Chains A and B, each alone.
Chain A
């Protein structure tokens, strides 16, 4: 599997702040990128997918992709305690997903 690196956590942010998550990948040919959220003891839940360079916004979430830098990020605006989870960056390699180790986010009230 190709390498996917995420910024090490855990990341603690106050409620209402912006949480910034970063991810780099090794395969320059990768085309599909995903952010999954995983609560403790639960399965990964897709929150964002991005395929083109630039920003993609969905509610409080914004994904950013820069293929030249092999970099994808996720911003969580107005962080809520319910956002406390592990966020997994995934890169599609043909049909299989390569995951980063995840960044654990804690939103403190």
Chain B
């Protein structure tokens, strides 16, 4: 039962370094979403991608953050020049459909998350 996989599970970076977070969706899912959970806060949407396309990045900070979902390989969330405020849990989710189908196919299943700590 291959669910959403994320790696690394824990990542420690010093201020100014780059962080790369990887997400492999459920097999057969072509829709990937990234969410961030800051300490003591709720989950916030960051970006929605389909293969080779960014559909909505409205929740992602304009600077230092980027995301991709190439034709082959996992989705990558990249944070350049990390700051302490980037310390959070980053969750990836996937679904088999992305629209408002109102059914099970639009259900988002979450991966285990990557916990980023910036020193």
Contact = CB atoms under 8 A, between A and B. Distances in A.
A22 interface: no
Contacts, number: 65
Interface residues of A, number: 24
A31 B102 contact: yes
A95 B107 contact: no
Given A32-B100, A96-B33, A102 B111 contact: no
Interface string B33-52: 10100000111110010000
B45 A98 contact: yes
A43 B43 CA distance: 10
A94 B56 CA distance: 11
Interface residues of B, number: 28
A51 B104 CA distance: 10
Given A95-B31, A95-B55, A46 B107 contact: yes
Interface in B33-84: 33, 35, 41-45, 48, 55-56, 59
A5 B119 CA distance: 33
A31 B100 CA distance: 8
A32 B102 CA distance: 6
A102 B100 contact: no
Interface of A: 1, 31-32, 34, 36, 42-46, 49, 51, 88, 90, 92, 94-102
12 contacts: A32-B102, A43-B91, A43-B113, A46-B110, A88-B43, A94-B99, A96-B56, A97-B35, A97-B93, A97-B108, A98-B45, A99-B35
Per CB-CB distance, the 10 closest pairs between chain A and chain B, nearest first, are A96-B45, A99-B43, A101-B42, A95-B98, A43-B110, A99-B42, A51-B102, A44-B110, A43-B113, A43-B112
